[in-house]
Structure 1
Amino acid sequence: MPVPLPSIRLARIACAAAVAAGLLAPGAAAQAQGRDAGGRAAAVPAPAAASAPAAPAAVKAVPRTVLALVDLREEQTIRLSRIHTSAELPLNHLGLSVVYWNVADGLPDLSRYPDLRGVVTWFAGEPFADVGAYVGWVARAMDSGVRVAVLGQPGIRLETGGRPVPLTLVNRFFARFGLRDDDGYSDLTYKSKPAAADAMIGFERPLTGALPGYPLFRKIDERFASHLVMRRGDDPATDSHLVVTGPTGGLVTDGYGRYYDAEYNRRQWILDPFAFFREAFTTDDLPKPDVTTLSGRRLYFSQIDGDGWRNVTEVAPYSAKRVLSADMVRIAAIEPFPDLPVSVAPIVGDLDPTWSGTPDSLAAAKALFALPQVEPSSHTWTHPFQWAFFKDYNRAKEAPFLERDGTPRAAKGEDHAAETAGEVSDIGRYALPRAYLQQPFDLDQEIGGALAYFTRLAPAGKRAVLVQWSGDTSPFEDALAAVRKAGGVNINGGDARFDADFPSVIGLPPIGLPVGAERQIYAAGSNENTYTDLWTNRFYGYQNLVHTIRNAGSPLRLKPVNIYYHMYSGQKAASLSALVKNLTAARAMELAPVAASTYARIAEGFYGTRFEPLGTAGERRWRVRGRGALNTLRFDHAAFTAVDFARSAGVLGQRHTQGSLYVALDPAVAEPVVALAATERGDIDPPAPVPYLIDGRWAFSGLSLDGGGFSVTADGYGDGAMVWHVPQPGRYAVTVERDGEAVWSGTATADADGRLALTVPVAGIPSGAVRPLRLRLRPADGAAG
């Protein structure tokens, strides 16, 4: 009888309850309804997962929320704000969840944020009518232990309307960062040069060329570290401390954090944002919920938007047979890769014969959904291009477009309406609000109705739960709520690029975007549109995805591998070749492939995860709550740190990569406990008294001791390559079961260090590991004692 390892997861929250719990920023009634004072989507955080168990009142979770103050009078939307586009990704990587507050609505009540770690600002102007009130607010925040990071303009030199602020009040603010403004400004910087600049400076771009003007900041508190000191000529008396961190947070002078190239519309970091925020918010003691890794390997997922489904391929010899692009993608890029899951999201309007579907387009969907590696998903019913158009919908708004929809014209003959539906027809212009306008827009039909439609098309046991946003991928709050109401998850948007054309981590978006009380989950990679000038030329361009994959994986693992494209990639020979190159490259990588909906759930879990410290201060032991589908934690600067299994529960495994320790949690344990201890060597797998997972291609759960060996449930795609660490070397018998019957058996040998590598082939196992298997490993020939 298996023994568990010793000592040894969304309903809408009412506004009032969410405010009381600190999940919504307090504000005007309009804000509580998901709007700011100007009627725009309110800058509020998404609710935590409703299923998360309530923490005991006596135990305070490790704070991991950062409150971003934005001025939506200036930046208009959170989606395009400086903090969201540039700072939130590094903050997410450090384990921090960002919520937003619009200072146009006044200053927030910090008591509404029970797990607040810090505040971040990045103003371009002077947003406060009463600077004194803001300076006092910052002081009280710091006095309560909340750290503050200031980038760009501090917002305290002028009041709204241009009224000057007394220097004594200005310096009261700067003193909190160990600085004093000497009321001077160096506007001619040709004689200025760094007197001191540490490794935090020159991250993506060195300080070269004409430098921005800067204020003269003198350091008055030696508790603060100066990362950049500028000097005019050779006079130390002119030294100005432009980047500092210390016990209350950090400050980066405007122009010295990020560089903007107006000619090429490119942004690059001068400052190392990971190092700056690490110091400003002291994140080394914080376990990091990680969305990039599963079973010790970099996570992989793929999704296809249905645009171009009915296009006739130009690829020989299939073009002569008038094969649809959707079928071409299946033939060339899905069927040959059964080990790489993909979520396929058609548009109902392209399939349903009462709209613009044909027998061929419908048959293409059924053939795709029948493949074991394909997850049925939805690209909506009518493919909205401009989601904001439907926020306050009435049919009269669409009247001017009713003669210009994507319905096939008789003149098209048998072309299956090539390039009429989806983004192919109006990409970058969006001449229509949606592809199909025959009937009035119905949000419930668009979201829940489409998911139900595709579930009916799929084989029994498969359910469509993922909505892949269409058009401008900018859903409004009610659209996101409709996904949740239908029991689904969402993805798309973000346009992640990190390559020669986008040479900065700024090209990588954060995990998601708060939209009112909901949250949009971004894709982890960009689709082929950004590589092909919005599908107008360079149809081979998507082959350059490999550069983003590489740069987003090393030296820091910032994103999973995501191959995201449209069905019109099956139309051109060049685009299809580029796609196959990407899939071939992915197949050669060490990955843990999952369905795209699984990634979306993991990403949602990032925001709900809470850590309760156990034991005394500095003991490095936490209970993990509310993580949902997220099953990896990361600890940075941890080459000589390992899991202490004797004081942990619900831990599957551990692996050191890039100087970090990745800890795999057991999905079968709702609230695992993770404890850390020092280990003497960083060049070998840490010893442990129990077996643990080092890495594997599959997902694992329910790890149990089983005599002198262990058993574990596994599921995944492709052959099950895996590496375990076991307490004793020797030969092990391996049995793989499904429903209690053995489907494969073999042996594997653990080396002298206890490292046991094996691969379970799926050939001959019905459904492979897509349906869960139970693995049993037992010592043979006296192994493990």
Structure 2
Amino acid sequence: MALHASEVKRDLVVLWSSTETLGKEYTYGTVHRNMESVFNYLGYRLKYVEVNYELSAWSKKNQIKNYAGVLTFFFDNKIKEVKNYIDFLSSVIENNIPLLVMGEWGFVNENLRKNKAEIDQLLKRLSLKAEFTEYDNPLLFKVLKKLDHVEFERKIKNELLRVVTINNTGPSSRVHLSIEVKGEEKPADVIILDDRKFFYAQRGFEIFENPYNKVSNWRIDPFYYFGKVLGNENPIPDVTTLNGNRIAFFHIDGDGFINTSEIDRTKTSGEIIISEILKRYSLPTTASVVTSEIDSNFFGTKKSENLAREMFRNPFIEVASHTFAHPLSWSMVPDEQDIKAYVDDRNIKKHKGPILAYKVSGYQMDYYKEVVESVEYINQNLLSKNKKTQVLQWSGNCRPPEIAIELVEKQGLAQLNGGDSRFDKTFNSYTGLSALYRQVGQYLQVYSGAANENIYTNLWQGPFNGFINVIDNFKNTDSPYRIKPINIYYHFYSGEKVSSLAALKSIYDWVLTQEINPLFASEYVQVVKGFESARIDKIKKNHFRITNNGLLRTIRFDKTILTPDYNLSKNVVGHFVKNNSLYVSLGDLDQTDIVLSNQNTSNVYISHSNSIIDKVLIKNNEMFLRGKANVPLEIKLSNGKIIKGSRGNFRDLKVAL
């Protein structure tokens, strides 16, 4: 019998409105800033379509049946082309594509009467009926029905501030939160779920944002609701784990390399970080320099150049550029938000042109010089012939335009930074976690895995030991959901203060108590790009084929009791279970077949390792391994045996079973 494989849909269309964002860019919106990390965790790639200007053309070029679902999220009701919008949502329903409507509908404005017949018909197809009457008097409200999962991170008690009347009429959909409005005949159904079909969460009941400090929290449980409406039985490309261990990567922005250290005023911050952190821990680290700060022709000295050369000679240091003059805004004409953030109050009104951290006499921002020439300077002046720059670490607001990113990609470099992801005592929510990347034209800008010490020290104003709180972030993103890797991301100026250096050492010491798989930053970028490119095909029940996954070597299955059948699977080297999820480890072949079974395997497999395992072969009761370790090698097998070795590449490593 012929097998008919079907591709697992991973692309989710997000409709957004540029009327709601300062920078007229989707990355300023709530979905990207506060929600996308959860969708990424569930395996989805979000494709943003601006509802007013892009939707019509997009609909003509793309078939909605090829997508996993559609999400709409609006704060306002300013959609201009209402008919196009309604037609699009109707096609979503006709094709049985899951639809998530959160926040406002977008058309509750002067178009409501004009398009009433079309709107009523759309709502009817969703088993809804609405008058869209708005009430904002909390004295009129009473909770009639409240199911689990509607108060995930924040309660609604004493926060019922606004309700819009809408009612569920369908037999298959279920109301999860219903609010009685005094004087209204029927209650307002503000959270509704129809499994694998439709989810609705009214504005104010999906995410809470504190109006004073802008800290937000989920009200609904996004893991539960998104999983229910989109389905959660498919395999998920996972960027947090490699061969059973949590991915950890370490990268340093070049700022402050030449600053005098208060710890020892005869030394620079760069010297302190090199001796007290890099040499002490010997972990794979991607270290960058701002070339105008190092170059003796600008702000540097012969000493700073020699120190950079010494640092880059270490085999566990990967070389990166942090640009030439450290642009704070990557726009040639900075917007109001960047001007307020980076220009002194006294100069805001008269400021013109780009904003640079390092004021080089006579220099105006030039993307080629910031990217290409900064890399050329490092390669030609600071490195030996057998070593080259591998990464460009974005500076300032980390919002480079496509033309700058293209220069990096054409150099064959990885590029990283942005996101400022955090989940700690101050930002105690999954909404503080960033997406994996920002789509800029045809390119991906991969975000860092965690916020750096500049964020935790209030832009280096203190407390200078504030970075210690990133440990809470690492803990919160590991359980109950391993949603982020570990990323120790900081600047050389952390070597200035006694307390900042002490915090950094405490963070490193804690990380070394964890089961980690240390990568260079360029390798993590490859993992994320593998998430974007990976294709998953369902061959038949419990049989999946993975291709185009690159260095992404972990596929996760949530809420399953099954495990790999190693005799039927191909390119599967191991597995382990965490948080009720099965993590399957892959080798380096172009195609992987994962066949799951409810039978316990008798095969010996890799449960955990701190290395990249490319291949495992078992023959005559011996295991042969090939791969690479960025730290001294450790491999734990399912039979309890532990293999240890040196860092570096290993081929045909033989282990008696």
**2:303 corresponding residue in structure 1:** 360
Residue 118 of structure 1 pairs with residue 69 of structure 2:
yes
C-alpha contact 2:8 2:538 (8 A) present in aligned 1? yes
TM-score w.r.t. structure 2 length?
Answer: 0.91
Conserved in 2, the CA contact under 8 Å of 1:304 and 1:564?
yes
Partner of 1:213 in structure 2?
A: 162
| Partner AA of 1:193 in structure 2 | K
Letter in 2 for 1:626: N
Q: Please, which runs of 5 or more residues in structure 1 have no aligned partner?
A: 1-56, 393-422, 680-685, 726-754, 763-768, 780-785
SS across alignment from 2:594: strand
The answer for the alignment partner of 1:67 in structure 2 is 13
1:60 Cα deviation (Å)?
4.4
Which of the residues 626, 644, 660 maps onto 2:565? 644
Match of 1:770 in 2: 648
* Conserved 8 A contact 2:565-2:601: no
Q: How does 1:221-232 map to 2 (within 5 A)?
A: 221-232=170-181
Q: Is it true that 1:569 corresponds to 2:494 in the alignment?
A: yes
Write the letter of the residue equivalent to 1:72.
Answer: S
Does residue 516 (structure 1) correspond to residue 464 (structure 2)? The answer is no
Q: Quick one: structure 1 residues 267 and 131, their matched pair in 2 at CA, closer, same or farther if it must change by over 3 Å?
A: same
The alignment partner of 2:28 has SS state of coil
Give yes or no for contact 1:177–1:251 (8 Å, CA) kept in 2: no
SS at match of 1:646: coil
Q: 1:390 to 1:433 in 2, by over 3 A?
A: farther
Per-residue deviation at 1:93?
0.7
Counterpart selection for 2:48 from 100, 113, 124: 100
Of 259, 267, 272 in structure 2, the residue corresponding to residue 328 of structure 1 is 272
Confirm or deny: 8 A CA contact 2:327 2:365 kept in the other structure. no
Equivalence for 1:463: 388
C-alpha contact 1:177 1:250 (8 A) present in aligned 2? no
Alpha-carbon spacing, 1:309–1:425, altered in 2? closer, same or farther (3 Å)? farther
Q: Aligned to 1:179, which of 104, 128, 143?
A: 128
Give how far 1:459 is off.
3.9
* 1:163/1:305 CA distance change after superposition, 3 Å: same
Alignment of 1:642-721 (within 5 A): 642-667=563-588, 669-679=589-599, 686-688=600-602, 690-721=603-634
Specify whether residues 199 and 110 from structure 1 end up closer, same or farther in structure 2 by C-alpha distance, changes over 3 A only. farther
- Letter of the aligned partner of 1:181 in structure 2? A
Deviation per residue, 1:742-782 (Å, 9 max, x gap): xxxxxxxxxxxxx22314143xxxxxx13445421124xxx
CA offsets 1:567-615 (integer angstroms, 9 cap, x no match)? 0001111111111111111111111111111111111111111112213
- Structure 2: gaps (5+ residues): 336-341
CA shift for structure 1 position 124: 1.7
Distance 2:61 2:98 in 1: 15
CA distance 1:594–1:330, change in 2 (3 Å):
same
Q: Is the 8 A contact 1:632 1:663 kept in 2?
A: yes
Partner residue in 2 for 1:24: none
Q: CA, structure 1 residues 770+450, in 2 after alignment: closer, same or farther (shift >3 Å)?
A: farther
Deviations 1:613-664 (A, max 9, x none): 213xxx12221122122111111112x1111223311111111100101111
Aligned residues between the structures: 636
- Cα 1:191–1:390 change in 2 (3 A) is closer
Amino acid at match of 2:597: A
Which of these residues, 461, 479, 482, is aligned with residue 557 of structure 1? Answer: 482
* 1:238 aligned partner: 186
Q: Is the 8 A contact 1:122 1:152 kept in 2?
A: yes
CA offsets 1:524-567 (integer angstroms, 9 cap, x no match): 11111111111122111111111111111111111101100000
Structure 1 equivalent of residue 97 of structure 2: 146
**TM-score normalized by the length of structure 1:** 0.77
Alpha-carbon distance in 1 for matches of 2:640, 2:343: 50
**Corresponding letter in the other structure for 2:72:** T
Asked whether the 8 Å contact 1:157–1:165 carries over to 2, the reply is no
Query: How far apart in 2 are the matches of 1:213 and 1:442?
Result: 49
Q: Does 1:613 align with 2:538?
A: yes
8 Å Cα contact 1:539-1:574 kept in structure 2: yes
User: Of the candidates 169, 181, 193, which is equivalent to residue 118 of structure 2?
Assistant: 169
Q: Check conservation: 1:68, 1:121, Cα contact below 8 A.
A: yes
CA–CA separation in structure 2 for the residues paired with 1:425 and 1:577: 31
Amino acid at match of 1:694: S
Match of 1:454 among 372, 378, 383: 378
Letter in 2 for 1:433: L
**Deviation string for 1:359-418 (max 9, x for gaps)?**
1111111121122221111111222121112799xxxxxxxxxxxxxxxxxxxxxxxxxx
Report the equivalent of 2:326. 383
Quote the Cα distance in structure 2 between the aligned partners of 1:265 and 1:563: 25
Report % sequence identity. 25
CA distance in 2, matches of 1:440, 1:260: 39
Is the Cα contact below 8 Å between 1:383 and 1:436 reproduced in 2? no
Aligned counterpart, 1:592 = 517
Q: Superposed, which structure 2 residues align to 1:435-584 within 5 Å?
A: 435-438=358-361, 439-456=363-380, 457-584=382-509
SS in 1 for 2:373: helix
**Given the superposition, is the C-alpha separation of residues 777 and 182 from structure 1 closer, same or farther in structure 2, using an over 3 Å criterion?**
same
How many Å separate the matches in 2 of 1:194 and 1:625? 49
Match status 1:250 vs 2:199:
yes
The alpha-carbon deviation at position 111 of structure 1 amounts to 5.2
Distance 2:157 2:252 in 1: 43
User: Which letter does structure 2 place at the counterpart of 1:674?
Assistant: I
Counterpart-to-counterpart distance in 2, 1:209 and 1:536: 36
* Cα deviation, residue 434, structure 1: 4.4
> What amino acid sits opposite 1:484 in the alignment?
E
What's the CA shift for 1:240? 2.7
- Check whether the contact 2:564–2:595 (CA below 8 A) recurs between aligned residues: yes
Distance in 2 of aligned mates of 1:556 and 1:135: 36
- Tell me the distance in 2 between the aligned counterparts of 1:465 and 1:121: 38
Distance change in 2, residues 1:588/1:773 (3 Å): farther
Letter in 1 for 2:654: R
| Aligned partner letter, 1:449 | E
Q: In 2, distance between residues paired with 1:628 and 1:761?
A: 26
- Report the Cα offset of residue 306 of structure 1: 0.5
Deviation at residue 721 of structure 1 after TM alignment: 2.6
